[in-house]
Amino acid sequence: MYCRKCGALLNNSATFCHKCGVEVVVVPVEKKVKEKVNVNVKNDYAIPAIAVATIALVLCVAPWPREWGIGTSFWMKIAIFLLGVIAAFLSRKADGINKNLEKKYKQSVKPGLVKYAFYVSHAAAFIGLVSIVI
């Protein structure tokens, strides 16, 4: 190491510079802290995808009066299918943004709720479509 004042070459064990007498201070190297990415702020599709997927899921499973239900009401089937398709579109966008963020920041982005929206929306679209066709 070198003296921080005069630049003289010093022993690693030296506590004072032999040339100028200044005290040797070892500055610890600071560990770089990885910056955390606030994904929710940057992923504008996540919240709408989760919200629409949840509405579709509720319409699928909620204990509605029999005459409103998915098995009996044509408009309920249409609503579930359309909400499922919209949520599927939004969740694919949100999933793509998460993947780009992971590439950019080289850290895993919490995918939990986006993945939930992805699966629920596809299931709802599928259930809605099948119930319309049957």
- In terms of CB distance, is 2 or 68 closer to Zn ion? 2
Which residues are 79's β-sheet partners? Answer: none
Helix crossing, 112-133 with 46-61: angle to 10°? 40
Pick one of 1, 20, 61, 130: the residue that binds Zn ion (CB under 5 A). 20
Sign of CA dihedral 33, 38, 42, 43: positive
Non-local CB neighbours of 92 within 8 Å, separated by 6+ positions: 118
Segment lying near Zn ion (by CB under 5 A), choices 15-23, 44-52, 61-69, 108-116: 15-23
Give the number of residues in contact with Zn ion, rule: CB under 5 A.
7
Q: Is position 10 an interface residue for Zn ion (rule: CB under 5 A)?
A: no
* CB of residue 7 to Zn ion, shortest distance in Å: 7
Q: Is position 104 an interface residue for Zn ion (rule: CB under 5 A)?
A: no
Q: Is position 120 an interface residue for Zn ion (rule: CB under 5 A)?
A: no
Q: Is position 3 an interface residue for Zn ion (rule: CB under 5 A)?
A: yes
* Residue window 78-97: x/- pattern of binding to Zn ion, with contact defined by CB under 5 A: --------------------
Write out 26-53 in H/E/C secondary structure: CCCCCCCCCCCCCHHHHCCCHHHHHHHH
Distance CA 15, CA 22 (A): 9
Q: Is position 18 an interface residue for Zn ion (rule: CB under 5 A)?
A: no
Residues that bind Zn ion (CB under 5 A): 3, 5-6, 8, 17, 19-20
